[in-house]
Structure 1
């Protein structure tokens, strides 16, 4: 919200080492994503291994390090402090996840991606401080691959599980080979993007788009349209498809890349929508509440969709950012999480038998 104020209204932010644009990108990618991954993985991992949940001490350590990293990004007291403190949340997450998962199959999937995310964070900070544009762009593309890969893997596992659980039947099946194929193609796309082979990059991105369309067709059932707790995850899947489509066409239609529309299709669209869907679902399930979307939850889902659509589409059709529409997109996108807090926070702090 504050970045829109910086961009449109000229609000102040310290830029001793990092620009306001990089601050925004870093916080949306690492501030937002590291919190999401910590919440999701450290809730799921103990269940995968059938061990005790993460202790309050570890939770406090993770939350404290995350808050301190946000403060450092704003205050920017020194280069060293930025590198060290901003990396801590991911470092603590990786250590705790390794202690829980050990050498299991899930560890060999999650830990390398998290390590790559940590490396991309450090590279991006270095590129931003030293104004190394090529390195910074390469780091951004590495981040996009990691986030897309995590979404492909998690959605490939979770969507079939939740759909089958809801309807008490084996309605859809996870296809691990298809999921890994999409991740492998997207990795090849990343390598060729960094090497600057644009035609091959767009071709591979379009292949990812087609493969995800096939997967969506395999997963989709009209039954899910009646269940908001399911259709929000399918909409997140559609935004993932849309990201790869935009990425494949951006070389030939330059306006598609206006104001980072492609990246925002992934972060504000796919990641944001999956996030609010999973947060709401997990919060209901782990609070002993009925797995049903109330009017407030449904409004939260609708709000983030509006925010993502306006943010991604308006620069494409208007040839750049519009201040009013940027405020509108920010308002709806953040309102989704505000509504989440309004509904769930009182339930989290209420003691129940």
Structure 2
């Protein structure tokens, strides 16, 4: 509030005052639309409607790069203002970045042109450039790895889209799976900071659980290494070394989770939702270790535990809290919103553990629960994102 001209800031339309507003709104809207569209296509619908590369290519890409990319951008472009004490992106520059994200989504519905590749890569490059400029201005070296992860996301996005153009399913999988583990790296990096902080603040504890820097750095490097091995195609087949790496990641994330635990957080949905999402990350890493050991037939349950339970859960929990704080509202969930956390986690359980019971039924129910969770976010929080802060301040 002290680093922007209040009169100028308040002249900007509310939706473009900080990055979280448009990107949380549009990312959640994509989450609500994309899964039902994919399920109908998987069941054989949409014969006359086909995105470039087919529905599977679109589904993989848009959840990893479109949905997660929007939420990551919204969070980082907002948080960097607090980290650096410099004004965050807003107004026309933010609007241009939003337009670029929308262009990348729309390009899937045109015959292949360089526009699909350019718009997607340019989006991640632009977010990385904004973050790098802000962080470099105050020499905040602690957050430089974030810029590196953003650039890597852009590179593996390019790998995936080259696979789409070449109709090479292997390249598509390499790029998308690399992106999923880069998002996991970002979850470990950011979640490792905010989850214990939010827990301490939310429960009124005097001190935050101190970080173990060696563990934090090891988890980041391990996740990035796994992403690079997927990008190179070396992690697509079971292997003992990868089993050991995933087991170490599961152990490291589990140690973190145990250190952060406080029984009183179970009474606070804004807190238990974040801890439960992080528990899904532990489970996903353990599941991948089992697959690489040959103890699971397919990595799909572990991967969906990561994408739905961990990624979706942490995103929903962060959306709920960040949207309240940055719109000047008390950190109290809107009435009935805790149901969204329940829906999402039930959906994750069905997708991970219920497939063996009845594949189509479990898949359909999981999709409906995911959609319901993010639709509830749009219903309860959408108006907040489009209006001025409740306290009248900029942002």
TM-score with structure 2 setting the length: 0.82
Q: Is the 8 A contact 2:64 2:180 kept in 1?
A: no
Show the 5 A alignment for 1:296-311: 296-311=336-351
**CA distance, structure 2, for counterparts of residue 155 and residue 177 of structure 1:** 16
Please give the per-residue CA displacement for 1:38-62, whole angstroms capped at 9, x wherever unaligned: 1100000011110123221122112
Please give the per-residue CA displacement for 1:314-342, whole angstroms capped at 9, x wherever unaligned: 23x24xx7223222111111111111111
Please give the per-residue CA displacement for 1:160-219, whole angstroms capped at 9, x wherever unaligned: 111122214114222222111122333444555643571111111011111111111111
Indicate yes or no: 2:226 matched with 1:186.
Answer: no
Deviates most, 200-209 or 57-66: 57-66
Deviates most, 101-110 or 55-64: 101-110
Q: Pick from 239, 248, 265 the counterpart of residue 224 of structure 1.
A: 265
- Tell me which protein shows more helix as a share of its residues: 1
SS in structure 1 at match of 2:330? coil
> How much has 1:65 moved relative to structure 2?
1.2
Indicate yes or no: 2:376 matched with 1:339.
Answer: yes
Q: Is the 8 A contact 2:84 2:134 kept in 1?
A: yes
Structure 1 residues 190, 71: closer, same or farther in 2, change over 3 A?
A: closer
**CA distance, structure 2, for counterparts of residue 76 and residue 242 of structure 1:** 39
Structure 1 residues 188, 78: closer, same or farther in 2, change over 3 A?
A: closer
**CA distance, structure 2, for counterparts of residue 141 and residue 198 of structure 1:** 16
Correspondence for 1:250: 291
Correspondence for 1:95: 129
Q: Is the 8 A contact 1:117 1:143 kept in 2?
A: yes
Q: Is the 8 A contact 1:190 1:201 kept in 2?
A: no
Q: Aligned-residue CA RMSD in angstroms? A: 2.0
Deviates most, 42-51 or 174-183: 174-183
**CA distance, structure 2, for counterparts of residue 169 and residue 44 of structure 1:** 23
**CA distance, structure 2, for counterparts of residue 265 and residue 243 of structure 1:** 5
Please give the per-residue CA displacement for 1:65-107, whole angstroms capped at 9, x wherever unaligned: 111111111x132231211122232122112212221242144
Gaps of 5+ in 2: 1-35
Structure 1 residues 82, 255: closer, same or farther in 2, change over 3 A?
A: same
Correspondence for 1:60: 95
Correspondence for 2:365: 328
**CA distance, structure 2, for counterparts of residue 135 and residue 85 of structure 1:** 19
**CA distance, structure 2, for counterparts of residue 350 and residue 188 of structure 1:** 42
Show the 5 A alignment for 1:33-48: 33-48=68-83
Q: Is the 8 A contact 1:189 1:200 kept in 2?
A: no
Correspondence for 1:7: 42
**CA distance, structure 1, for counterparts of residue 379 and residue 107 of structure 2:** 28
Correspondence for 1:202: 243
Q: Is the 8 A contact 2:219 2:252 kept in 1?
A: yes
> How much has 1:350 moved relative to structure 2?
4.1
Q: Pick from 60, 65, 72 the counterpart of residue 25 of structure 1.
A: 60
**CA distance, structure 1, for counterparts of residue 244 and residue 205 of structure 2:** 39
SS in structure 2 at match of 1:268? helix
Structure 1 residues 37, 72: closer, same or farther in 2, change over 3 A?
A: same
**CA distance, structure 2, for counterparts of residue 106 and residue 77 of structure 1:** 42
Q: Is the 8 A contact 1:156 1:175 kept in 2?
A: no
Correspondence for 1:238: 279
Q: Is the 8 A contact 2:57 2:164 kept in 1?
A: yes
Correspondence for 2:116: 82
Show the 5 A alignment for 1:264-275: 264-275=304-315
SS in structure 2 at match of 1:296? coil
Q: Which structure would you say has the larger RCO, counting Cα contacts within 8 Å and 6 or more residues apart?
A: 2
Correspondence for 1:144: 180
**CA distance, structure 2, for counterparts of residue 171 and residue 99 of structure 1:** 30
Q: Is the 8 A contact 1:30 1:121 kept in 2?
A: yes
TM-score with structure 1 setting the length: 0.91
Gaps of 5+ in 1: none
Q: Is the 8 A contact 2:101 2:123 kept in 1?
A: yes
Indicate yes or no: 2:146 matched with 1:104.
Answer: no
